[in-house]
Amino acid sequence: MKSQKIPNRLIMEKSPYLLQHAYNPVDWYPWTQEAFEKARKENKPIFLSIGYSTCHWCHVMEHESFENVEVANILNGHFVSIKVDREERPDLDQVYMTYVQSFIGGGGWPMSVWLTPDIKPFMGGTYFPPNDAFGKPGFISLLEKIARLWKTDSKIILDESEKSLRALRQMTETTESPSVPLEQKQLEVAYNHLKSSYDQRFGGFGGAPKFPMPAILAFMLRYYSRTKTKNALDMSLFTLRKMAEGGMFDQIGGGFHRYSVDKQWHVPHFEKMLYDQGQLACLFLEVFQITHEQFFAQVARKILNYVRRDMTGQNGEFFSAEDADSLTSDLPEKKSEGAFYVWENSEIIELLGPTTAAIFSFHYGIKAGGNVLNDPYGEFPNKNIFYVTQSLETTANHFETTPQKVRIILDEALSKLFEARLTRHRPHLDDKTITAWNGLMISGFARAYQVLHYAEDLESAVRATKFIRSQLFSEVTGTLFRRYRDGQAAIPGFTADYAFLIQGLLDLYEASFDDELISWAIELQKKQDELFWDDKNGGYFNSSKGNENVLLRLKDYYDGAEPSVNSVSVLNLLRLALLTENTEFQKKAEKTFSDFSAHLTSQPQNLPLMLSNLDFQLNKLPRIIIVGNPQDPDTKAFLEVIHQHYIPNKILMVVENSPKKKKNTWQSAFISTLGMSGGKATAYVCVGTTCQLPTNEVDTMLQILGQEEK
């Protein structure tokens, strides 16, 4: 039974996820005091459902259960039902996901958690089918059982909730412990552990499902840079190439899907997330700096073009995600996963003609009956997902032509398919702007401008930064907001919003050398310290002090799909310390390392990005200071050659010592003493306050940097 189209309270929200449920017959509440008061007043347990708008199984559970009047009647009669967008409230998601993972041994979305009226969890899970199946209770049976138990013996539930909360506190409590010395051997331990899980046949680490895990690959590249261990580079290159040639990469329109359900990178879960695009663009750019292979630059370019085309708002802001599901052409009322992206063989022949289709199908693995071999839910019958199965050379030999001609044929075919795909129903776009994810994407565009020198990349980074400053930042309080949508900024920013944006500002500074970016980064860093710093142990909590109706303040002790905020924050602090010579930043970085030292020693592979930053901390790092005008050709010559090389552990500054140039407030007295030599742009390579002889020659600077790297 389906609902009548009568809106519930969620109709007043801005979150696309909550709005998707605004016409459910369930009497949904957002996470508000009103809901908690109702639960206490009526003595009802809370049913908490957490998900996000581009989540496939969230859609399935909505259709099966939350649109079902029978389910709604049970929820409305016996529970207070609350919907939360995990992307708006990562603090709540982290608390209850930690509980669910401990309760059932795993997690995911939609997340379903039952709470007491004082928001303590007593039962949880993820997706539940509506009815009993395979000896397991369905959602309806579970709701009825919990409702009966609450009515007849709520003490059992209340006791369980207290036990759960105690266990959560024990699991997550940050206690002061002796700091473990951090040395280079932690890097080697992590490398060996990750190497042991490497898939030599298909790339990546571990088995299916396979996630891109940018933090691991970034660590591998930095480990290679330090040790010259070629295997670390080879694993990274092979993984990134297989990902980019696989179905997880949108071969037609660019951009990466969320993950691969198989180990071959062939069949993706089709949603596209902004935070993946930003991190992966940076990775492909770094690999291009190492190898100078155009393939990697082209993949980065396709990622950025996709984001600029499909995930950017009118004012330069970046949107959050595109859905896995979309409407099908043959059943226009039905959504299915990947409908926008998959093709039948007959469609390809009709669009490209038999000759071009034969070449295209050979290269991209197209089969007459479809190429999805593992399809447990029957979603891709007779469908093809493009992935590179034959190289250009093999394809050319097979059709007795040249690789150059094959490339032209394939590019023209992809262009035709792109135009044809525009006539299909696009996936739902989650058009909210998340500050943290915009920070990651600002880094992607800023780094692209540094390496590839396209002016539109710099423009994209600058526009997004200006949007956040004007719409998601309070000049009065100095605080950030988490989310902007439909003219409204809301939800106080979390640590990730500060840390990822600060990183973006520092990366954008190294592209534009706008001193105001550093001034704002310092202001935000001080506010992050004020709101989230752990005075007792060091490091940053994910949520601020006094966050209403949140059971616990937690920290991230692992780098996941998004990096740990502490991993990012450590590097921000180290960079700011070297830029400004402010020792307070250095002390906070060292205190954070101390807080994480036990984790870095016992399970270093869980914090690969933190380890990359430990590598930064353990070495005497070069500050490359160019004294000159950023717009002058001689200054640009220095910058271009620096960005051609992969030098991960460096600080780059441009100082314009001109009488007309207003001195910025963060520049140290030492930097102010450096001047131009012979009236030309001059490079200083400094460690601490000791600098090599200044030079006007690019080659001499590179020679000095080579000596520093040794």
Contact by Cβ (8 Å): 466, 317: no
Separation of alpha carbons 593 and 239, rounded Å: 29
Question: How high is the pLDDT of residue 248?
Answer: 96
**Phi–psi pair at 696, nearest 5 degrees:** -95, 0
| Average pLDDT of span 163-183 | 78
In one-letter notation, the amino acid at residue 60 is V
In 311-353, which residue ranges form alpha helices assigned H by DSSP?
345-352
Residue 510 has pLDDT above 60, yes or no: yes
Separation of alpha carbons 626 and 653, rounded Å: 6
Separation of alpha carbons 366 and 354, rounded Å: 13
Q: Read off the pLDDT band of 660 (50, 70, 90).
A: low
Bigger pLDDT: 672 vs 345: 345
Q: With pLDDT > 90 as the criterion, what percentage of the chain qualifies?
A: 83
Q: Exposed (0-12), middle (13-18) or buried (19+): which is 178, by Cβ within 10 Å? A: exposed
Contact by Cβ (8 Å): 111, 121: no
| Average pLDDT of span 590-613 | 92
Do the bridges between strand 651-655 and strand 623-627 make them parallel or antiparallel, or are there none, so unpaired?
A: parallel
The answer to which of 180-194, 355-369, 560-574 has the lowest mean pLDDT is 180-194
**SS3 assignment, position 489:** strand
Residue 188 has pLDDT above 80, yes or no: yes
Residue 657 has pLDDT above 90, yes or no: no
| Average pLDDT of span 45-54 | 97
Residue 619 has pLDDT above 90, yes or no: no
Nearest of 302, 320, 324, 300 to residue 311 by alpha carbon? 320
**Which residues are CB-contacts of 152 (< 8 A; sequence separation ≥ 6)?**
none
Q: Which residues pair with 178 in a beta bridge?
A: none
In one-letter notation, the amino acid at residue 320 is S
Q: How many CB atoms within 10 Å of residue 352?
A: 21
Bigger pLDDT: 506 vs 330: 506
Separation of alpha carbons 345 and 318, rounded Å: 35
Question: How high is the pLDDT of residue 690?
Answer: 85
Query: Per-residue b/e over 625-660, b at no fewer than 16 CB within 10 Å?
Result: bbbbbbeeebbbbbbeebbeebbbbbbbbbbbbeee
pLDDT tens digits for range 414-467: 999 999 999 999 999 999 999 999 999 999 999 999 999 999 999 999 999 999
Q: How many residues does the chain have?
A: 710
pLDDT tens digits for range 523-537: 999 999 999 999 999
User: Tokens 């038999």, residue?
Assistant: 354
Residue 202 has pLDDT above 80, yes or no: yes
Question: How high is the pLDDT of residue 359?
Answer: 98
Separation of alpha carbons 596 and 555, rounded Å: 10
Separation of alpha carbons 704 and 692, rounded Å: 8
Q: Read off the pLDDT band of 618 (50, 70, 90).
A: confident
**SS3 assignment, position 318:** strand
Residue 135 has pLDDT above 90, yes or no: no
Q: Read off the pLDDT band of 667 (50, 70, 90).
A: confident
Question: How high is the pLDDT of residue 659?
Answer: 63
**SS3 assignment, position 644:** helix
Question: How high is the pLDDT of residue 668?
Answer: 86
Q: Read off the pLDDT band of 387 (50, 70, 90).
A: very high
| Average pLDDT of span 267-280 | 96
Residue 621 has pLDDT above 80, yes or no: no
Q: Read off the pLDDT band of 549 (50, 70, 90).
A: confident
| Average pLDDT of span 666-678 | 87
Question: How high is the pLDDT of residue 132?
Answer: 87
For the chain, how far is it from start to end, CA to CA, in angstroms?
A: 70
pLDDT tens digits for range 57-102: 999 999 999 999 999 999 999 999 999 999 999 999 999 999 999 9
Residue 708 has pLDDT above 60, yes or no: no
Question: How high is the pLDDT of residue 655?
Answer: 92
In one-letter notation, the amino acid at residue 146 is I
Q: Read off the pLDDT band of 705 (50, 70, 90).
A: confident
Q: Which two tokens stand for residue 292?
A: 């100078």
pLDDT tens digits for range 294-313: 999 999 999 999 999 999 99
Contact by Cβ (8 Å): 124, 113: yes
Q: Which domains does the chain have, with CATH numbers?
A: 9-172 (3.40.30.10), 341-423 (no CATH), 623-709 (3.40.30)
What phi-psi label fits residue 97: left (phi over 0), alpha (psi between -120 and 50 degrees) or beta? alpha
Nearest of 208, 349, 318 to residue 255 by alpha carbon? 318
| Average pLDDT of span 329-349 | 87
Highest mean pLDDT pick, 91-105, 152-166, 238-252, 325-339: 238-252
**SS3 assignment, position 193:** helix
Separation of alpha carbons 463 and 427, rounded Å: 25
Q: Exposed (0-12), middle (13-18) or buried (19+): which is 296, by Cβ within 10 Å? A: buried
Question: What mean pLDDT is reported for the chain?
Answer: 93
Q: What distances in angstroms separate CA 1 from CA 95, 139, 283, 528, one per listed residue?
A: 34, 15, 48, 49
